[in-house]
Amino acid sequence: MVDRHRASRGPRCFAVISLLGSVLAAGCAGTNGSATEQDIAQIRQDVNALRAAAQRGRGEADAIAQVERRSREQAAENARQITALSGRLEATSGELSRLSARLDELSRRMDTISREASPSPSSPRPPAPSVIVPPLTPGVGALAPTQPPSSPPLSARPAPPAPTRPPAGASGTNAAGNGTAEEAYQAANLDFGRGRYTLAINGFRDFLRRFPDAPQAESAQYGIGESYYSLASAANAEGQTDAATRALEQAVQEFRKVITLYPRGTKVPTALYKEALALTELKQNALAQTRLQYLLDHFPQSEEAPLARERLATLRK
């Protein structure tokens, strides 16, 4: 009996122990589930905080971008205003230069009238020379061939017009009473040095008309071409493309006259080089290369030869 009682107690104890284990396992599972839900809730809060921070960052970036865009627009507007003011200042300066040149010309004429009136008040007054700048040509299609003749003899040059005899009582002056050849040349050269290019052209042309055989004749002809080239640069700076083109075309023709009329002169290499520069600005690169090559072939020892070689290499690239 005792053995049967003991045998029946064994299964009951095992059942009790199994029940207690199930209860304990259920308690642990409930505890772990609560911890996991708390972690998920915390993660969700962190994600929401990160999203809010990202939205604030995007808003701040947009605000900074707007400020930068406004700053760029303001800088561009300031640059436009400065450019406009610079253009007005240059125009005003040019107008002042023209007025000053006009005053100088009037002063010279008054001095001329005074000198003419002093020796013989009753003598008739010679008329003042009329100086008119010829109109700019519309194109350079009628220029001479690409290769000028190589240094023709001086006898081949066109005969200059005969100089005008000065009136009685005007010893040492020209027919218009405007001074000697040196004085007339220096007056035109002074206008060029002061940026009065139109007056300089008038002065150089008048000088060539009255003193065609003077030693400064070649330099005067070159000065006309240089004046037109400078006028083109000034027109480009002011955005006047058409005026710049016309001035460049005229400069090409005037530089070509230096080569044609004074083939053995000292200004020929310089005139060739400046003619090539003007042709380059006119987008006539093939003709510019021809002129530069002519300079190198005929004047290899000139000061312009290294510049011509460098420019030619650039054009051929």
Residues in the chain: 317
Say if CB 218 and CB 265 are below 8 A apart.
Answer: yes
Q: What is the pTM of this model?
A: 0.47
Check residue 213 and give its pLDDT: 94
Write the CA distances from 80 to 90, 191, 266, integer angstroms: 15, 32, 45
Cα radius of gyration rounded to whole Å, the chain: 46
Select from 163, 171, 184 the least CA-distant residue to 118. 171
Check residue 188 and give its pLDDT: 96
Write the CA distances from 278 to 83, 140, 259, 284, 308, integer angstroms: 26, 11, 15, 9, 13
Check residue 61 and give its pLDDT: 83
Q: Which structure tokens are listed for 208? A: 């060539």
Mean pLDDT by 10 residues, the chain (317 residues): 52 55 53 76 86 85 84 81 71 65 66 52 39 35 35 35 36 48 95 96 96 95 97 94 95 96 95 96 95 96 95 91
Return the CATH superfamily for domain 178-317: Tetratricopeptide repeat domain (1.25.40.10)
Write the CA distances from 184 to 55, 178, 211, integer angstroms: 80, 7, 9
Q: Supply angle C-alpha 59, 60, 65, rounded to 5.
A: 100
- What residues does each domain of the chain span? 18-91, 178-317
Check residue 54 and give its pLDDT: 83
